[in-house]
Chains A and B, each alone.
Chain A
Amino acid sequence: MSSPATSTRAFTDAPDRPATGVLERFSYDDAIARMFMIATVVWGIVGLLVGVLIAAQLADPRFNLGLEWTSFGRLRPLHTNAVIFAFAGNGVFLAVYYSTQRLLKTRMFSDFLSRLHFWCWQLIIVSAALTLPFGATQGKEYAELEWPIDIAVVFTWVVFAVNLFGTIAKRRERHLYVAIWFYIATVVAIAVLYIFNNLVVPAGWLHSYSIYAGTQDAFMQWWYGHNAVAFFLTTPFLGLMYYFLPKAAERPVFSYRLSIVHFWTIVFLYVWAGPHHLHYTALPAWASTLGMLFSIMLWMPSWGGMINGLLTLRGAWHRVPTDPVLKFFVVAITFYGMSTFEGPLLSVKSVNALSHYTDWTIAHVHAGALGWVGFMIFGMVYWLAPRLFQTPLAKPKWATTHFWIATIGILLYIIAIYWTGLTQGLMWRAFDSQGQLQYPDWLESITPLIPFYWIRVVGGSLYLFGALMCGLNLLLTWNARPKVYEIPVYEAARLNATYREPAIAGSTLPKNSVVEFARTLDVFSQMRWHRKWEGLATLFTVLVAVAIVTASLFEIVPLFLRKGDTVRIDSVTPYTPLELVGRDVYISEGCMNCHSQMIRPLRAEIERYGEYSKPGEFVNDHPFLWGSRRIGPDLARVGRKLPSPNWHVRHFNNPTDTSPGSIMPRYTHLLEKPLDLGELTASLKAMQTLGVEYTNAEIENASITARAQAKLIADIVVVEGGPTGVEERKVVALIAYLMRLGTDISKPTAPIVATPTAAATGGTP
């Protein structure tokens, strides 16, 4: 069977090869894998660097550097997008492009599509870096990229999908290996999630509004957000694990049956779990319950992956002390197990009441991102580098050093942040013996955290240092590469069109002693029937899509159809034009990265912030701005608590002026830049398209109305002893918005600003 050419390697042991089949010769495209590997490490370093910077900003706000482009609110999305889409994304593509060709015994479908995919993806990352710091954002977590970039993402994803499914179609290995199942789930699910959460109405080239509002937008966002974790940071990495771990350990996978069960249960159950990000919010209770219950059900399917990872190492454990690749994998899978236990724990409502909005979530995410995602990538990169550069790793010891430094970095990071999360969560809900909040002053719950924020900076820096070592190691290895890469040629037969799956062996249970049903169940639980599906790629993909879409619709359909869940409140009216501009400023500055707008129905929150938030208060909120973390206090009712515009002027100019010890960045640029009403008409029209009740007359007169309200606020600023000319500044719009927040449900008879146009047209200002 072996070919005469010395560099040709034939596959000889595939059972379904026809004895007389014609062998086809092919080689693998490793150049594309090299490209993705370099991109992974380079973007990883960039993403981590931004992470360390924003970590330092929380420890000392001077690290905001006094520039509008480098404030926490602008850079935090850059960090998350860089780490998820650039670091993890390129890592996933590296794994897919390297392993798929080998698992399917074929070159990728199209070298051109591979390169188109690569360069489009890098372009998207660069455009993210060129828009997010400048405040162009859709305002939804991990879905910040504006609509033109979204279109590019979808295009690139389609390119990727065509390339992957094209490769599957021309495969020379009949049965899809479990890694490929996970890749398929990734491609299908991300396409569905990304498109439906990013549906927006544009109001400019880099400005748009989510088509959903309030509660429904929140649901869609966390259906997406949670499943970005599931299908971008979990399923492709499980696929990666199923290829690179048995390769590196040189051991068979622990259990084929477990692969099947945990794959399908993950695909079906994960999609339901999104609402656990919205416990105790204005989301209907039934959705919240489903989110919790399905998260709990997900525990074991997730651990199925962990078991199959760790137990595959049986017989290879003696190599772990000497092999950095296995070290990275072992710790990664351990972190996966920890995170997927913690996830269901945090999704339990009563635990979530404590953990939500605190650093606990951040610690959880980083255990997953640094431990699971990061270490899987680094393990894979160290395994691949000698193979892709065809020379031994330049500094093998550095890889081990990287492992230890990064492990210590993760531990410092997460332990510090678990501590701050727990501390803050307990402080927020603590009552004294008089039944009053024990820590009523917000800053009392911030200052004790600062030392731990420094520990986080140290931990993050160690992790970054490890990544830099990895980058340098790769550079040195690349430098020692052969002049010309050897491209081995392989031989394998085309798939036999007349192939028939062998009959499944019957049950070995004795025929007379058990009922026939037990024998059927026995055959079913052997899972050999699944082998047939693995040979039918189209059917397999359709089944994955059906699982994901069905699970989604079970929640989406009732959420959009049940009118009773969002009771309209008559006094809740659309934002005035100026307030809408202010809301855009709020989104653009990324205020929601630190401030929630959702008072939960918990006594401690009501004591601190006022009446809990109602679904009907958010019907005009495109997008919703409930937030997910309180680095600053909740702002849902700030309009009732702080109706003093000059306080806001002073606070934006220098937060420590009004709030000593505050870690909020200064927003002096808001006081310097002119109020820009250029996009106001387009914004209002977009809102009108979305069903927000603006009359045409209101839209026509919007600039006049906005200027009038700005003048009224500026006059109060002057009365309060503040600066003059605020009506001309950007800050006035943001103040108008903040003063409106949370006031609608207790609105007095007339709104604060009665506009002449509104009176003339009979509309609501």
Chain B
Amino acid sequence: MPESSTVEPQVLDHECDGIREYDNALPGWWTFLFWACILFSPLYIVYYHIGVGPSIYLELDDEMAAAAEAQLAQLGPMPVDVSTILGVAADPKKLLIGRSMFRTNCSVCHAADGGGNAGPNLCDDTYINIRSPLDFFRVMHDGVVPKGMPAWSPRYNNTQLVVLAGYVASLRGGTPAAPKAAQGDLKPAAWSTFLTPSTSTLEAPK
């Protein structure tokens, strides 16, 4: 035994199948931590459920609002028009945002590089529903539901959809790893030709 005889604890006088038990007291640090954990509970409840502590929903709202604000500040005004959509291609920061949105939501059908899979190839020159860059916005906003393209308007606001439209427009002419065969019979002119003063602004849907 490592203990000296003076600290050797008392063995209780009962036994069970030869097993005996010491009468050691609860370790002090154990008792302290146990009470500390118990006392933490009312404090937590009072602060978060009765008092001023934020709920997870309030925290979420704050975080979402801050993120939206930061993004708006980053993007500046993004009206739904051709020049803004095509302007995305010239801004690496906006392109990165668009790319991230695309890879979160679109690459599952259109492939990460836009080469198409279940959805059409977005890198070639033929389109099913796109006559002008504005149509990217329109298709994203309303979807082509019977053909499997969801409407993204419930999920994203117009500013975000403009960025995404600009990103997808910028994919044209890319060289995807596994391009899907051309679909659709629309062959819009090069995007730059749409940048004329006569191009009207699409009325922004609500």
Do B146 and A716 have beta carbons less than 8 Å apart?
A: yes
Taking a contact as CB atoms under 8 Å apart, the answer to whether A658 and B108 are in contact is: yes
Binary contact track B106-141/A, C-beta < 8 Å → 1, others 0:
011100100001110000000000000000000000
Inter-subunit contact A300/B150 (CB<8 Å): no
- Asked if B34 and A300 sit within 8 Å, CB to CB, the answer is yes
User: Which residue from A300, A435, A657 sits with its C-beta under 8 Å from B70?
Assistant: A435
**B16 and A297 contact, CB distance less than 8 A:** no
Chain B neighbourhood of A13, CB < 8 A: 15
A719 touches B (CB below 8 Å): yes
Residues of B within 8 A of A643 (CB): 143, 145, 148-150
Contact A315 B1 (CB under 8 A): yes
Q: Smallest CB–CB gap between B7 and chain A, Å?
A: 11
Produce 1/0 per residue, B48-79, CB < 8 A to A.
Answer: 11000001110010011001001100100000
In the complex, whether A603 has a CB less than 8 A from a CB of chain B is yes
Indicate if the CB atoms of A256 and B23 lie closer than 8 Å. Answer: yes
Query: How many A residues touch the partner, as a band?
Result: 35 or more
Interface centre among A103, A243, A641 (most CB of B within 10 A): A641
B196 within 8 A of A: no
* Interface-centre pick from B56, B57, B145, B146 (highest chain A CB count, 10 A): B56
- In the bound complex, what is the Cα–Cα distance between A103 and B143 (angstroms)? 72
Closest chain A residue to B27, Cβ basis: A307
- B-binding segment of A196-204, A605-613, A702-710: A605-613
Q: Is the CB of B25 within 8 A of A645?
A: no
The residue in A242, A257, A716 that gathers the most chain B C-beta atoms within 10 A of its C-beta is A257
User: Would you give the shortest CB distance from A191 to chain B, in whole angstroms?
Assistant: 26
B206 at interface, CB cutoff 8 A:
no
Q: Cβ of A69 < 8 Å from any Cβ of B?
A: no
Chief secondary structure at chain A's binding surface = helix
Provide the B12-51 mask, 1 if CB < 8 A to any CB of A, else 0.
Answer: 1111111111111111001001100110110011001100
Cα A651 to Cα B141 in complex, Å, equals 26
Given contacts A15-B14, A719-B147, contact A436 B100 (CB under 8 A): yes
A257, B97: Cβ atoms under 8 Å? no
Chain A positions 74 through 104: 1 when the CB is less than 8 Å from some CB of chain B, otherwise 0 = 0000000000000000000000000100110
Q: Across the interface, do A720 and B148 meet the contact criterion of CB distance under 8 Å?
A: yes
Question: What is the CA–CA distance of A178 and B30 in the complex, to the nearest angstrom?
Answer: 20
Contacts of B26 on A, CB cut-off 8 Å?
Answer: 255, 257-258, 261
Residue of A nearest to B15 (CB): A13
What is the 8 Å Cβ interface bit string for chain A, positions 235-273, against chain B (1 contact, 0 not)? Answer: 000000011001100001111111101000100000000
| Interface membership of chain A positions 258-295, coded 1 if the CB is closer than 8 angstroms to chain B and 0 otherwise | 11010001000000000000001000011001000110
Tell me whether B118 and A256 are in contact (CB under 8 A): no
- Whether A177 sits at the interface, judged by CB under 8 Å, is yes
Residues of chain B within 8 A of A178, CB atoms compared: 21
Please count the residue pairs between chain A and chain B whose beta carbons lie under 8 angstroms apart in the complex. Answer: 189
Bitwise, A304-328 to B at CB < 8 A (1) or not (0) is: 1001000100110000000000000
A300-B34, A610-B155 known; A289-B48 Cβ under 8 A = yes
Most chain A Cβ neighbours within 10 Å, of B2, B21, B38: B21
Known: A285-B49, A435-B74, A719-B146. A253 touches B104 (CB 8 A): no
- In the complex with contacts A255-B22, A435-B71, A644-B107 CB distance below 8 A: no
Is there an interface contact between B27 and A173, defined as CB atoms closer than 8 Å? no
Is residue A134 contacting chain B, with contact meaning CB distance below 8 A? no
Known interface pairs A610-B155, A641-B150, A658-B108; A349-B24 also in contact (CB < 8 Å)? no
B100 touches A300 (CB 8 A): no
- B residues within 8 A CB of A300? 30, 33-34, 37
8 Å CB contact of B21 from A253, A299, A441, A657: A253
When C-beta atoms are compared, the residue in chain A nearest to B105 turns out to be: A641
User: B11 at interface (Cβ–Cβ under 8 A)?
Assistant: yes
B14 CB contacts on chain A under 8 angstroms: 15, 175, 531
Question: Measuring CB to CB, which residues of chain A are less than 8 angstroms from any residue of chain B?
Answer: 13-15, 99, 102-103, 105, 173, 175, 177-178, 242-243, 246-247, 252-259, 261, 265, 280, 285-286, 289, 293-294, 296-297, 299-301, 303-304, 307, 311, 314-315, 349, 432, 434-438, 440-441, 525, 531, 601-603, 606-608, 610-612, 640-647, 650, 657-659, 716, 719-720, 746
A-B pairs with the 10 shortest C-beta distances?
A644-B148, A436-B100, A440-B104, A300-B34, A647-B118, A255-B24, A177-B16, A440-B103, A256-B21, A252-B20
User: In the complex, given contacts A177-B19, A286-B49, A642-B109, what are 7 additional A-B residue pairs having Cβ atoms less than 8 angstroms apart?
Assistant: A253-B20, A300-B37, A315-B1, A434-B96, A435-B97, A642-B150, A646-B118
**Chain B residues proximal to chain A, CB less than 8 Å:** 1-3, 11-27, 30, 33-34, 37-38, 40-41, 44-45, 48-49, 55-57, 60, 63-64, 67, 70-71, 74, 93, 96-97, 100-105, 107-109, 112, 117-119, 143, 145-150, 154-155
Can you pick out 25 interface pairs between chain A and chain B where the beta carbons lie within 8 Å of each other? Answer: A103-B16, A103-B17, A243-B17, A243-B19, A247-B17, A253-B21, A253-B22, A255-B23, A256-B12, A280-B56, A285-B55, A286-B49, A434-B71, A434-B97, A434-B100, A435-B67, A436-B96, A440-B102, A441-B103, A603-B60, A603-B64, A640-B155, A643-B145, A644-B118, A719-B146
